[in-house]
């Protein structure tokens, strides 16, 4: 894996909009939070473009991403929001310029398309973490500052990432490359030239929002039948916020218990990275991680994600 350099005080962080448009007040509040962290946010005016449910035409969004990545003065890229549209950039991006200058890219939700491409196709560590809208824009209520700084600003393993709501559904211990993201985006990639293709023995993180239990069942079944679940040494689920059946029966946690009953490794549930009702935890993708279920369940990041 190629690793971006650790972020430092005063670094320029480019804000890009690879997917849907965003609220300007959320953008401004997110910019203020990045400045409070000691970074210098920069952006191209095309970030404010609007094309129905997209933040401008695909070529314009891809060009802004390419320019930010190629700019030697930019240390990292962070997405303004998710929504839809990141997958449209993939045919418009070339691997070689990306590989020449590894940089940190931070996002979640729809930007899972870019995170997976960077990590699994380009071999560059990426970061499942806060975007501007509803995350950086809300300060401590929107994102976990500690895990963000540990993952992006220190050239050392981030160590334990735990949470009071994190529970073990299946006991065990396993180690592997941490990969994953939003379940529906991962499943939508299958059958395309950009299909999610994790290595055998990986620690697979899966999260989503507002998907009813039968849809989660369908998507996990697809991952099982495609052989992807069989490559994982451990499964780590997010909160799956809003995924209980209306009325609460079945609860999504019970559905996950049933669907993973034959999985041979450990299974954790409730890690608040991605769509969460609280502060989002940052996860580095493409690095070695260990899942522990004894005592307090935890995901241990055993390898630095930056250099």
Instruction: Please confirm, yes or no, whether 59 is among the known catalytic residues.
Output: no
CB 190 within 8 A of CB 196: yes
Distance from C-alpha of 116 to C-alpha of 126, rounded to nearest angstrom: 8
Distance from C-alpha of 174 to C-alpha of 3, rounded to nearest angstrom: 23
Across-strand partners of 40? 12
**Residue 238 — φ and ψ, nearest 5°?**
-75, -160
Q: Retrieve residue 281's tokens.
A: 């935890």
**Residue 87 — φ and ψ, nearest 5°?**
-60, -25
22: left (phi over 0), alpha (psi -120 to 50) or beta: beta
- Strands 283-285, 126-128: pairing kind: antiparallel
Give the list of residues 6+ apart from residue 96 with CB closer than 8 angstroms, or none. none
Distance from C-alpha of 112 to C-alpha of 98, rounded to nearest angstrom: 17
Give the list of residues 6+ apart from residue 45 with CB closer than 8 angstroms, or none. none
- Report the chain's C-alpha Rg in angstroms: 18
Q: At what angle do helices 213-225 and 252-259 cross, to 10 degrees?
A: 20
Instruction: Please confirm, yes or no, whether 116 is among the known catalytic residues.
Output: no
Q: Retrieve residue 23's tokens.
A: 């609220």
Of the listed 20, 26, 211, 275, which one is catalytic?
275
Q: What angle do CA 77, 83, 89 make, to 5 degrees?
A: 55
Give residue for tokens 């954790």.
Answer: 268
Instruction: Please confirm, yes or no, whether 211 is among the known catalytic residues.
Output: no
CB 128 within 8 A of CB 282: yes
Of the listed 26, 33, 86, 109, which one is catalytic?
109
Of the listed 207, 211, 239, 273, which one is catalytic?
207
Q: Which residues are catalytic?
A: 109, 207, 275
């Amino acid at each position: 894996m190629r690793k971006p350099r650790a972020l430092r005080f005063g670094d320029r962080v480019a804000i890009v909009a690879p997917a849907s448009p965003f609220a300007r007040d959320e953008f401004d509040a997110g910019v203020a939070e990045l400045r409070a962290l000691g970074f210098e946010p920069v952006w191209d005016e095309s970030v404010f473009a609007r094309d129905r449910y997209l933040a401008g035409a695909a070529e314009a969004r891809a060009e802004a991403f390419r320019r930010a990545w190629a700019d030697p003065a930019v240390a990292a890229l962070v997405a303004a929001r998710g929504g839809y549209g990141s997958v449209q950039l993939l045919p418009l991006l070339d691997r070689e310029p990306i590989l020449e200058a590894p940089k940190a890219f931070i996002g979640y939700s729809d930007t899972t398309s870019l995170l997976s491409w960077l990590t699994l196709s380009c071999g560059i560590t990426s970061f499942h973490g806060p975007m501007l809208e509803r995350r950086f824009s809300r300060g401590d209520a929107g994102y976990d500052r500690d895990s963000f700084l540990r993952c992006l600003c220190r050239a050392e393993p981030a160590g334990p990432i735990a949470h009071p709501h994190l529970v073990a559904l299946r006991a065990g211990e396993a180690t592997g490359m941490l990969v994953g993201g939003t379940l529906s985006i991962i499943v939508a990639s299958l059958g395309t030239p950009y299909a999610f293709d994790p290595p055998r023995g990986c620690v697979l993180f899966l999260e989503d929002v507002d998907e009813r239990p039968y849809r989660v069942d369908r998507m996990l079944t697809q991952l099982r039948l495609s052989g992807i679940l069989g490559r994982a040494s451990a499964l780590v689920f997010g909160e799956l916020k809003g995924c209980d059946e209306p009325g609460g029966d079945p609860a999504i946690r019970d559905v996950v218990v049933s669907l993973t009953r034959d999985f041979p490794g450990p299974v954790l549930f409730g890690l608040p990275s991605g769509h969460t009702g609280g502060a989002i935890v940052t996860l580095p993708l493409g690095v070695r991680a260990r899942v522990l279920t004894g005592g307090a369940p935890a995901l241990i990041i055993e390898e630095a994600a930056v250099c």
